[in-house]
Structure 1
Amino acid sequence: MRVGFGYDVHRLEAGRKLILGGIQIPYVKGLLGHSDADVLIHAIIDGILGAAGLGDIGTHFPDSERVYKDIDSTILLKKTLDMIKGKYLINNIDCIIVAQEPKISPYKDAIARNLSKVLNIGINRINIKAKTEEGLGFTGRKEGISAYAVVSIIEKSIDSCT
């Protein structure tokens, strides 16, 4: 088994959609970024890449590339899965979304279901938690949202172990 850790943060801005885990969350602001700025999926991508020893999201999907402008992050997640295909399987994912607002709890199940579908793993292998910052820091001031993800992967077959 291998473990990777992912983190991402984006600023909240009026006029943008708020997308978390591939799900649109109703809110007066959305996350600003080169892509759709889905901090949760970006953290998961970094966790997968880290576990597989493949660098980070910026290496594979740089914001200098126009092809990634406003891209749906689930597409990037699928491309990341293609990178580990045949070598590793995702064992489980544990995530934290940090946001003062909006409340994430009502959307955790929908996010987990969507990630389960995109990742093609059982929903019981995905855990989504939501935290506020109790008014502290940039997230507490409602300036942005961050996400953390721990991803464990396993070798696809025992024969591939070295």
Structure 2
Amino acid sequence: MDLRIGIGTDVHRLVEGRPMRIAGLDWPEETSGPEGHSDGDVVLHAVCDALLSAAGLGDLGSNFGSSDPEWAGADSNDLLAETLRRVGDAGWSVGNVAVQLIGNRPRLGARRADAEAALADRHGLTVSISATTTDGLGLTGRGEGLAAVATALVTRPGHLG
């Protein structure tokens, strides 16, 4: 069996009055949200980036560029569904994905299991989500933005080597 690993990273600035959608969940108590061409969900964007990387299909920008009007304002779950279709069309199956949210808000801990279950139910994915802060350092520490880093494992029948 062939195994490949991909890494994905995403960063978005936070803007007052914009909805906060992170890890596929809405966070209505938050007063700012990620700015972006789509809904700015850094967790799902990093997952897409890692899957595309692992499958050798480029990255999020080359597949869903901000100049493409089709994806303007898109729900990142739709981006993930299309990413999974492309990965599958290339002959790969997803083993698992691990993703870490980096930022002060939203506080993911109480809803982590909900986010993982929602991704499993909607996309059939095994995703482990974690979160951390940067102890006041950088754009995430100052509350100016959010970041996420993901690693994905994809497999397909074949020979290693």
The residue that corresponds to 1:149 in the other structure is: 150
Residue 78 of structure 1, aligned match among 56, 81, 87: 81
Q: 1:109-155 CA deviation, whole Å, 9 max, x = no partner?
A: 1111111123213xxx3211110111111100000000010000110
SS in 2 for 1:81: helix
Cα deviation for residue 161 of structure 1 reads: 7.6
Q: Any residues of structure 2 matched to 1:23-62 within 5 Å, and which?
A: 23-25=25-27, 26-62=29-65
Matching of residue 9 in structure 1 with residue 11 in structure 2: yes
* Equivalent in the alignment of 1:138: 139
SS of match in other structure, 1:85: helix
Aligned to 1:116, which of 86, 105, 120? 120
Unaligned stretches of 5+ in structure 1?
none
For residues 49 and 93 of structure 2, the distance between their equivalents in structure 1, rounded to whole angstroms, comes to 15
Q: Distance in 2 between matches of 1:161 and 1:129?
A: 30
TM-score in terms of structure 1 length: 0.91
- 2:130 aligned partner, one-letter code: K
Following the alignment from structure 1 to structure 2, what is the Cα–Cα distance between the partners of residues 23 and 142?
A: 19
Secondary structure of the corresponding residue to residue 105 of structure 2: coil
What is the alpha-carbon distance in structure 2 between the residues aligned to residue 74 and residue 138 of structure 1? Answer: 25
In terms of mean alpha carbon deviation, does 40-49 or 98-107 score higher? 98-107
For the aligned residue pairs, the C-alpha RMSD in angstroms reads 1.6
Alignment length, in residue pairs?
157
Question: Aligned AA for 2:99?
Answer: C
- Tell me whether 1:107 sits opposite 2:103 in the alignment: no
Deviant stretches of 4+, over 6 Å: none
Matching residue's letter, 1:61 = F
Are residues 84 and 161 of structure 1, via their aligned partners in 2, closer, same or farther at CA, if it must alter by over 3 Å?
farther
- What stretches of structure 2 of length at least 5 have no aligned partner? none
Q: CA deviation at 1:103?
A: 1.4
